[in-house]
Amino acid sequence: MTAEKTNGSNRSTDQAATPPVPPAAAPPEGRPGRRSVWLLVTLVVVVAAVTFGVTALLVTIFEHRQEARTPFQRVVEVDEVSTDPEPWGRNWPYQFDTYRRTVDITETQYGGSSAMPASKLEESPWLRRLYAGYAFSLDYREARGHAYMLFDQEVTERVTKRTQSGACLHCHASVVPTYRRLGLEAAGEAADAEVLAADFNWPAVMEGFRLASTMDYATAHAELLKTPDGTPGENRPLFPGGSSTEAATRANQPDVPPAPTDGEREIHQVGEAHPVGCIDCHDPQSMQVRVTRPGFINGIAALAESDDPVPHLASIGRWREGNRGRSYDPNVDASRQELRTFVCAQCHVEYYCATKETLFFPWDQGLKAEDIESTFDEHEFPDGTPFFDYVHGETGAPIYKAQHPEFELWSQGIHARSGVSCADCHMPYERQGAMKVSSHWVRSPLLNINNACQTCHNVPETELRERVLTIQARTESQLERAAAAMTDMLDAIRETQAAGATADELAPIFELQKKAMWRLDFISSENSMGFHADQEAVRVLGESIDYSRQAQAAALRQRTSEAPEVDQPVEPVQGVTPTDRAPPAPYKVPGTDNANTTTE
């Protein structure tokens, strides 16, 4: 009883100490609970965010589509006389900005640009002997960016110390309006700025090209400065590669010339000279890629007429299969991808460039070194004399000079056969908003491997670089061997001449010398150090070594008396296995009872 009372008393005390919890008040009828409110707010926020994101995405897609439909805004007019690239830059600012970067210092192991590039003659003394008697033995430097192409030519000692041809400007200046003006003036037609700007006028351009090719460099350069450039009232060059009356160079204003009068500046110096720019590769109205150089137009037409297989140039194949009612015209027949190579091949090629006749590309028989050599062998100057570039200063042999045959060597390589254009590697596409734009910072792919190489090659950047450098190192090694053979050949020929060899005795040796030096120069002057077609480069250098050694041997034979008749018997092939250790038949020596040693 006591326990029960006690327990009961405790329960009563607990109940008194803990007040009862009132039941939760039910929300008024028709009003949501707090939890439901937060769920609703969260849902509204999520829906709003998703709606905003989708809307932003749709707006971005719409804007990009609009950008793609209108790739540029024409804020100023450019025309067929606009050689100054600055107005173009207002319409196409990204391309212009990248084009201006060709002044930047960008070097690779085998080329690039820097302040007054290194002399190749100092780096490779054998070049002085290769070019003996030719202006390249005076000054020959590494190439720089496109911005310097005109300036470096204006100040090279090849121009300042020797008279050069005006045909050199075919590739080093924005020269087509000058050709047009010269052609119109020769025909007695108006050639003011308005006429020059109205139409490309191929007949006038071709005639002016012919006239300029016969001028000396100083005269042709002065004609550049007489031609309007599309920016009247402004006469300062964009790059160090241009020149004007306000920017003296040794080419157009030697020493310290007096300041020109206003009349001279207005009448004779109304424009300024520019390196190759926008107008040289693009139609100013449509911006379509186009070929503007007369030398290439004539050269590619001759190549199309030849029997040379050019599987990498499909449009030439189609033209050959047609009725051939007209000459092959790259601006009509070539694909856009082919034009992305052809605009570079206007200049990065082999050509004749002197005053004895109009500049020409020697592609009548094909693009290989020996094809071009055959074209030269069969060619005569207009006066009927055999073709040659220069007389070698050490031996007196007539020699062919290679310029910079990048297009020809590339045509023999795997990238050409794979449909890869020059611009794909040297001016790769980049994404700018909705647009895919080709970079105009023309440079070595090794300086931009991600965009230039890895688009096709799914290989680490370091491996790709090592592949290229390995190819170039192997080519350079073979090049040095060919150079050593060339110098040995020259020494032997000069010694033979000193010994009194006649012209008739030297003639076949000179022919071998010409073949050897042409092949060495072909690869040495090409600017990829063999990468454009590595197997072809090594093949050509191997032939150079062979011809040099043949010429050396022939020269040595001329200096020695006739060798006596050789009557020493030739030892027969002897075996190495003793008879007692010879294997059993059927390995016995035929006709013997294994009495002799067996053959290997």
| Nearest CA-CA partner of 363 in 425, 407, 414 | 407
* Mean pLDDT rounded to a whole number for the chain: 86
Convert 418-439 to b/e letters by CB count within 10 Å (16 or more is b): eebbbbbbbbbeeeeeeeebbb
Q: How far is CA 302 from CA 63, 183, 364, in A?
A: 47, 23, 5
d(CA 420, CA 447) in angstroms, rounded, equals 18
d(CA 351, CA 548) in angstroms, rounded, equals 24
Residue listed under structure tokens 């792919």: 445
| Nearest CA-CA partner of 390 in 381, 382, 400, 402 | 400
d(CA 401, CA 104) in angstroms, rounded, equals 30
Convert 249-281 to b/e letters by CB count within 10 Å (16 or more is b): bebbeeeeeeeeeeeeeeeebbbbbbbbbbbbb
Residue listed under structure tokens 């009927």: 384
Q: How far is CA 9 from CA 1, 6, 17, 396, in A?
A: 12, 5, 12, 138
Structure tokens at 177: 């309006």
Which segments within 380-472 are labelled E, that is strand? 390-391, 398-399, 429-432, 435-438
Q: What SS3 class is residue 293?
A: coil
Q: Which residues pair with 244 in a beta bridge?
A: 247
CA angle (378, 380, 384) in 5-degree steps:
135
d(CA 522, CA 452) in angstroms, rounded, equals 26
d(CA 535, CA 540) in angstroms, rounded, equals 9
**What domains sit in the chain, N to C, each tagged with a CATH number?**
86-276 (no CATH), 365-420+456-558 (1.20.140.10)
pLDDT score for 35: 77
**340 vs 58, residue with greater confidence:** 340
pLDDT score for 241: 58
Residue 12 pLDDT greater than 60, yes or no: no
pLDDT score for 144: 84
Query: What length does the chain have?
Result: 600
DSSP of 109-129? TTEE--SSPPBHHHH-THHHH
pLDDT score for 448: 93
Confidence of residue 363 (pLDDT cuts 50, 70, 90): very high
Q: What is the DSSP letter of 435?
A: E
- pLDDT tens profile 149-173: 888 888 888 988 888 999 999 999 9
Q: What SS3 class is residue 494?
A: helix
Q: What is the DSSP letter of 430?
A: E
d(CA 541, CA 504) in angstroms, rounded, equals 28
Q: Are 185 and 158 in contact (CB under 8 A)?
A: no
- pLDDT tens profile 380-417: 999 999 999 999 999 999 999 999 999 999 999 999 99
Helix (H) or strand (E) holding 107: strand 107-108
Q: How far is CA 476 from CA 17, 344, 400, in A?
A: 103, 25, 22
Burial, 31: exposed, middle or buried (Cβ in 10 Å; 0-12, 13-18, 19+)?
A: exposed
pTM: 0.81
DSSP of 224-288? HHHS--S-TT----SSTT-BBTTB--TTTS-SSPPPPPHHHHHHT-SS-B--S-GGGTB-TTT--
Q: What is the mean pLDDT of residues 68-80?
A: 78
Q: Are 475 and 537 in contact (CB under 8 A)?
A: yes
d(CA 201, CA 231) in angstroms, rounded, equals 21
- pLDDT tens profile 84-130: 999 999 999 999 999 999 887 665 555 544 456 788 999 999 999 99
pLDDT score for 245: 55
- pLDDT tens profile 285-309: 999 999 999 999 999 999 999 999 9
Residue 597 pLDDT greater than 70, yes or no: no
Q: Which range has the top average pLDDT, 4-8, 78-82, 581-585? A: 78-82
Q: How far is CA 301 from CA 23, 296, 312, 318, 515, in A?
A: 101, 8, 16, 13, 27
DSSP of 539-578? HHHHHHHHHHHHHHHHHHHHHSPPPPPP-PPPPPP--SB-
Q: How far apart are the first and last CA of the chain?
A: 128
**568 vs 333, residue with greater confidence:** 333
